[in-house]
């Protein structure tokens, strides 16, 4: 499964898929956009040792969506906003990857370890909202977490009104999205930015951007 996906991606992109073990990661795997300098290559996939192949498949699907199908990525032109962007950036792109893994491969896409401590009301509103959205999105694939989501939602409605309102709108945006349609995904991604960072969206500091290959080099558009 993994090797077949790698061969397909290499054929479609004209680039090698490079994976590198990195046990300093705070998560299981990622596409290393942060250190992506040579735009004649694809960014590397970093991963911890002995992780489940589903996590590798997840990152390969990201590469396919971004570099083959040209699904946009939520981006910023201000390096000072990278941490704030990270709070909500992955919501739509991870939802698409999870849908593909579950619906098209018949595999469980969710790592149960994620849920530990995420129903934390001591965090800023945006982080509480993003966690509530993920509880909802993940519970689609993990029915045993449905009760967990319902409990978190009710407590959030009472104790974090602003966070609850943001999460409610983001969940509605996810529910409207057809993960198989790029335009539908793009509308959802833009709506997610408006919900979590309207001011930066309005100022043009956060936006959606897609990748294309020109003269053997990958370019952001815009």
204 in a structural domain: yes
- As a three-state string, the secondary structure of the chain is CHHHHHHHHHHHHCCCCCEEECCCCCCCEEECCCCCCCCCCCCCEEECCCCCHHHHHHHHHHHHHHHHCCCCEEEECCHHHHHHHHHHCHHHHHHHHHHHHHHHHCCCCCCHHHHCCCCCCCCCHHHHHHHHHHHHHHHCCCHHHHHHHHHHHHHHHHHCHHHHHHHHHHHHHHHHCCCCCHHHHHHHHHHHHHHHHHHHHHCCCEEEEEEEEECCEEEEEC
- Say whether both 32 and 93 belong to one domain: no
**pLDDT attached to residue 211:** 98
Measured torsion, CA atoms of residues 17, 23, 24, 27, in degrees rounded to the nearest 10 = 70
Q: Domain range holding 151? A: 81-208
- Say whether both 14 and 106 belong to one domain: no
Average pLDDT for the chain: 95
Cis peptide before 222 (omega within 30 of 0): yes
- Say whether both 117 and 161 belong to one domain: yes
75 in a structural domain: no
Length of the chain equals 222
Are 173 and 192 a contacting pair, CB within 8 Å?
yes
- Say whether both 118 and 192 belong to one domain: yes
Count of domains for the chain: 2
Give tens-digit pLDDT for 98-133: 999 999 999 999 988 877 778 889 999 999 999 999
Residue 144 has pLDDT above 80, yes or no: no
Q: What is the average per-residue pLDDT within 208-212?
A: 98
- Say whether both 62 and 85 belong to one domain: no
User: Of 48, 69, 90, which closes a domain?
Assistant: 69
Predicted confidence band of residue 145 (pLDDT cuts 50, 70, 90): confident
47 in a structural domain: yes
d(CA 15, CA 81): 30
For the whole model, what pTM was predicted? 0.95
d(CA 65, CA 97): 9
Backbone phi, psi, residue 82, to 5°: -60, -40
- Say whether both 168 and 119 belong to one domain: yes
213 in a structural domain: no
Give tens-digit pLDDT for 43-59: 999 999 999 999 999 99
d(CA 25, CA 30): 9
**Could you tell me which residues are beta bridge partners of residue 74?**
208
């Amino acid at each position: 499964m993994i090797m077949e996906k790698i061969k397909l991606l290499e054929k479609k992109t004209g680039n090698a898929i490079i994976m590198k073990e990195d046990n300093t990661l705070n998560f299981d795997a990622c596409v290393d956009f942060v250190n992506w300098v040579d735009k004649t290559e694809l960014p590397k996939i970093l991963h911890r040792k002995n992780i489940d192949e589903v996590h590798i498949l997840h990152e390969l699907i990201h590469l396919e969506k971004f570099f083959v199908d040209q699904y946009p990525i939520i981006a910023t032109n201000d390096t000072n906003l990278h941490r704030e962007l990270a709070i909500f950036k992955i919501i739509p792109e991870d939802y698409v990857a999870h849908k593909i893994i579950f619906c098209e491969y018949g595999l469980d896409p969710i790592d149960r370890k994620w849920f530990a401590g995420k129903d934390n009301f001591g965090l800023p509103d945006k982080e509480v909202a993003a966690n509530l959205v993920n509880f909802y999105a993940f519970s689609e694939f993990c029915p045993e977490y449905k009760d967990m989501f319902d409990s978190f939602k009710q407590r959030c409605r009472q104790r974090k009104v602003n966070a609850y309102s943001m999460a409610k709108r983001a969940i509605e945006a996810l529910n409207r999205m057809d993960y198989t349609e790029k335009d539908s995904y793009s509308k959802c991604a833009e709506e997610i930015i408006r919900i979590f960072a309207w001011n930066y969206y309005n100022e043009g500091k956060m936006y959606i951007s897609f990748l294309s290959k020109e003269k053997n080099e990958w370019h952001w558009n815009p």
